């Protein structure tokens, strides 16, 4: 790895991250105190379980679509086979949405940017999966505490996505090679930012991510058994393709 092409790799991943984030940081900062009114919270809480799940599935699918675009612009990712790209996105896209949450989470009032305003856990009550929401909020808190820069977040997102341990990969060795070059890139910018200790903490966060995503999948299975019609006919196709 000559330094030049590590710099190029970092630059292309950071550019891709910036171009595939629906909101710039400044926009999210400007909106951080725009919270839902009592009436709006009441409206969310009076939705039925399947209405709220459908609503979140649409939001999550939209966030995942941006992650798919992010992946497509990562040089090493594009070189992989179609099947391996799908295999990595199947498990990694939700993890990247969760990692990106540190951009749109306000630790001061424990709210997340959702549907145009910042929402507390009470907004998601009618999902009937308080443990998943609490775990997602806890994870977002923990990640925000690391105060990642956009560049560090971009490289960490790519590292989470290009994971050679994913099931059913055809060319694991190739994914390992791309993973290693992204890791060299992340190590390089953490060293440049004089924040070497962060890498170890980020690896610890990756372990929590995996458990969070299996909890999400478990809830999704529960939901689609309980509401088969909604899950099979009303969920966005990409959501079903990636999560069902």
Ligand X SMILES: CCS(=O)(=O)c1ccc(CC(=O)Nc2nc(-c3ccccc3)c(C(=O)c3ccccc3CC(C)C)s2)cc1
Residues that bind ligand X (CB under 6 A): 21-23, 28, 56-57, 59-60, 62-63, 66, 97-98, 100, 103-104, 112-114, 124, 127, 132-133, 136
Q: Would you say 90 and 68 are in contact if contact means Cβ atoms under 8 Å apart?
A: no
120 backbone φψ class: left, alpha, beta (φ>0; ψ -120 to 50):
beta
Provide the minimum distance between the beta carbon of 132 and ligand X in the complex, in angstroms, as a whole number. Answer: 6
Q: Closest approach of Cβ 223 to ligand X, in Å?
A: 9
Tell me the DSSP string of 125-137: GGGS-HHHHHHHH
Closest separation in Å from C-beta 52 to ligand X: 9
78: Cβ–Cβ under 8 A, 6 or more apart, which residues?
72
Nearer to ligand X, 36 or 104 (CB): 104
Nearer to ligand X, 124 or 227 (CB): 124
Closer to ligand X by Cβ: residue 20 or 181: 20
Q: 6 or 56, CB closer to ligand X?
A: 56
Minimum distance of ligand X from residue 162's CB (angstroms): 18
> Half-sphere exposure of residue 94, counting CA atoms within 13 Å on the CB side?
24
CA nearest neighbour of 193 among 147, 158, 162: 147
Pairing of strands 111-114, 105-106: antiparallel
In the complex, the smallest distance separating the C-beta of residue 128 from ligand X, rounded to whole angstroms, is: 10
Give the Cα separation of 99 and 185 in Å (integer): 18
For ligand X, the closer CB: 6 or 25: 25
d(CA 55, CA 159) in angstroms, rounded, equals 29
């Amino acid at each position: 790895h000559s330094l030049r092409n590590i710099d190029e790799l970092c630059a292309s991943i950071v550019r891709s991250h910036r171009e595939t984030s629906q909101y710039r940081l400044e926009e999210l900062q400007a909106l951080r105190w725009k919270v839902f009114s009592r009436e709006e919270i009441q409206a969310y809480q009076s939705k039925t379980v399947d209405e709220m799940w459908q609503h979140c599935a649409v939001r999550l699918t939209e966030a995942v679509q941006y992650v798919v675009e992010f992946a497509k612009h990562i040089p090493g990712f594009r070189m992989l086979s179609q099947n391996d790209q799908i295999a990595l996105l199947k498990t990694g896209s939700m993890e990247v949405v969760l990692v990106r949450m540190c951009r749109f989470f306000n630790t001061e009032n424990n709210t997340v940017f959702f549907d145009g305003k910042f929402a507390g856990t009470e907004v998601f009550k009618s999902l009937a999966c308080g443990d998943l929401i609490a775990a997602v909020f806890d994870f977002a808190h923990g990640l925000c505490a690391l105060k990642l820069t956009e560049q560090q977040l971009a490289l960490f997102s790519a590292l989470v996505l290009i994971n050679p341990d994913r099931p059913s990969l055809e060319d694991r060795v190739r994914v390992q090679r791309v993973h290693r070059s992204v890791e060299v890139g992340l190590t390089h910018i953490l060293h440049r930012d004089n924040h070497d200790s962060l890498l170890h903490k980020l690896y610890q966060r990756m372990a929590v991510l995996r458990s969070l995503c299996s909890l999400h999948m478990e809830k999704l299975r529960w939901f689609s058994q309980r509401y088969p019609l909604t899950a099979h006919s009303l969920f966005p196709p990409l959501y079903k393709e990636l999560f069902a």
